[in-house]
A and B are shown apart, each in its own frame.
Chain A
Amino acid sequence: MERIPILKMGEFLLVTIQVDMHDRLATTLQDDLTERIVKARAHGVLIDISSLEVVDSFIGRMLGNIAAMSRVLDAQTVVVGMRPAVAITLVELGLSLPGVRTALNVERGMDLLRAALRNGGAENGMDGSPQD
């Protein structure tokens, strides 16, 4: 079965979505990722969606869910590389992902995760602002 790979980099997990998401793939990713966070004791998750060209309300909601689940497991989640068209679609769908942190690219996302980790995880990053 098709799966989205989850890579471990130090204390972070790296998820790169490089195919068009369908609902089944999304739920599988949810299962895999939560399992890996617990197993690897990761403190940060970076989801790169720069290759994602099409989103629907389900995928949008799933991104929000993954972030919320990771937070429950004490891992910061950053979604990076969202395309302009995808951002506009999500906003038009009414999904502005309020609990999710975002960054322009992987590099910035990593900086964000490290900064969040340095703050000892005390600050949960609910506001989604890239600088603190």
Chain B
Amino acid sequence: MAIARSRIAELLEKHEPSVLSEWIKLQLNAKTFRGDLQSETDLREESRRFLALTRQAWSSGTTDVQAPAWTPVREFLTGISSSRARLGFSPGETATFVLSLKQPFFTLLRQELGKDTEALADELWAATQVIDALGLFTMETYQKGREQVILRQQQDMLELSTPVVTLWDGVLALPLIGTLDSARTQVVMESLLEKIVETGASIAIIDITGVPTVDTLVAQHLLKTVAAARLMGADCIISGIRPQIAQTIVHLGVDLADVTTKATLADAFVIALARTGSSLARAKKA
């Protein structure tokens, strides 16, 4: 096998330019070529570098792509797949970059070893193994790149979904939408407390109309937020408690006795105004 392995590296070394040009031609003509996302020069450069790195790694004698000799190839592929994931390439299009190398390889092997069937079979098998392994590796890194994108979007959503609005001078409102988990409570708490410092508000209304269910954990998170706001010197009112939620809260035995609760945001606002010493009156019609 040692001889067979060096054989393919040797052949590659000799015919690198022709393999490269055939490969690039294949890629450019393939359906998966995304001229809208990537320029031809970029593709040529990527292909050239990848082929050169692969040849070097192959000359080292090992076909295990996890081996240290293949590290430069792996790093290069990591860069390619994450950049393609960001650019919006589909998984198939990304993997094709590596997998399309098979055809020029096989052509080369057939040309050179056509008569020696046994050697040809061995070499084909070795080449297939390596290229498949590299293809799989590309897919994995592509997947990781995608996951990072998802993670970032999750964080963005977390920030987007917790706005703190100023209702009146000294009155803040925090309309919560979606389920409260520990991570979100942390974000909610932080943004509320920052806003209290910023505006000097003395009352915060937490509206839970958009919270689908309230279990003991969510209730505990709410109470934590209320306690933290109180430590900063601001009072909290919880509003938007739907009938079913009121029932669940009582059934669960959650103690909301220390917190002012109101059925609607409007009621909470009236209380908040009264506490800050303002009042609203309807203008008399002339």
A interface with B by C-beta (< 8 Å)? 79-80, 82-84, 86-88, 90-92, 96-97, 102-105, 108-109, 127-131
CB-defined contacts of A80 to chain B, threshold 8 Å: 233
What total of chain B residues lie within 8 Å of the partner, measured CB to CB?
Answer: 22
CB-defined contacts of A103 to chain B, threshold 8 Å: 233
Whether B241 sits at the interface, judged by CB under 8 Å, is: no
Known: A88-B189, A104-B196. A96 touches B232 (CB 8 A): no
In Å, the complex CA distance between A114 and B126 comes to: 87
Q: Which residue of B lies closest to A129 (CB)?
A: B235
Whether B202 sits at the interface, judged by CB under 8 Å, is: yes
In Å, the complex CA distance between A104 and B258 comes to: 20
Known: A104-B197, A104-B200. A84 touches B232 (CB 8 A): yes
CB-defined contacts of A105 to chain B, threshold 8 Å: 200, 233
Contact yes or no, B235 A87, CB < 8 A: no
Contact yes or no, A131 B231, CB < 8 A: no
- Residues 171-209 of B, flagged 1 when their CB comes within 8 A of A and 0 if not, give 000000000000000100110011011001010000000
Whether B228 sits at the interface, judged by CB under 8 Å, is: yes
Task: Give the top 8 A-B pairs by smallest Cβ distance, nearest first.
Answer: A84-B193, A96-B227, A103-B233, A87-B231, A104-B233, A102-B233, A87-B228, A91-B228
Q: Can you give 5 A-B contacts (C-beta < 8 A)?
A: A79-B231, A96-B228, A109-B233, A128-B230, A131-B276
Known: A84-B193, A84-B194. A90 touches B231 (CB 8 A): yes
Whether B85 sits at the interface, judged by CB under 8 Å, is: no
Whether B86 sits at the interface, judged by CB under 8 Å, is: no
Contact yes or no, A87 B275, CB < 8 A: no
B interface with A by C-beta (< 8 Å)? 186, 189-190, 193-194, 196-197, 200, 202, 224, 227-235, 258, 275-276
The residue that A108 contacts in the complex, of B197, B229, B233, B235, with Cβ under 8 A, is B233
Nearest-neighbour CB distance to chain B for A90, whole angstroms, equals: 6
CB-defined contacts of A127 to chain B, threshold 8 Å: 258
The residue that A102 contacts in the complex, of B193, B231, B275, B276, with Cβ under 8 A, is B231
CB-defined contacts of B189 to chain A, threshold 8 Å: 84, 88, 91
Nearest-neighbour CB distance to chain A for B79, whole angstroms, equals: 38
Contact yes or no, A104 B202, CB < 8 A: yes
In Å, the complex CA distance between A25 and B202 comes to: 31
Contact yes or no, A130 B231, CB < 8 A: no
Contact yes or no, B193 A88, CB < 8 A: yes
Choose among B231, B234, B275, B276 the residue with the greatest number of A CB atoms under 10 Å from its CB.
Answer: B231
CB-defined contacts of A86 to chain B, threshold 8 Å: 231
Known: A88-B190, A104-B202. A131 touches B224 (CB 8 A): no
In Å, the complex CA distance between A80 and B231 comes to: 9
Nearest-neighbour CB distance to chain B for A94, whole angstroms, equals: 9
Nearest-neighbour CB distance to chain A for B203, whole angstroms, equals: 9
CB-defined contacts of B229 to chain A, threshold 8 Å: 87
CB-defined contacts of B258 to chain A, threshold 8 Å: 127
Nearest-neighbour CB distance to chain B for A92, whole angstroms, equals: 8
Contact yes or no, A102 B228, CB < 8 A: no
Nearest-neighbour CB distance to chain B for A113, whole angstroms, equals: 13
Q: Which residue of A lies closest to B195 (CB)?
A: A84
Contact yes or no, A82 B231, CB < 8 A: yes
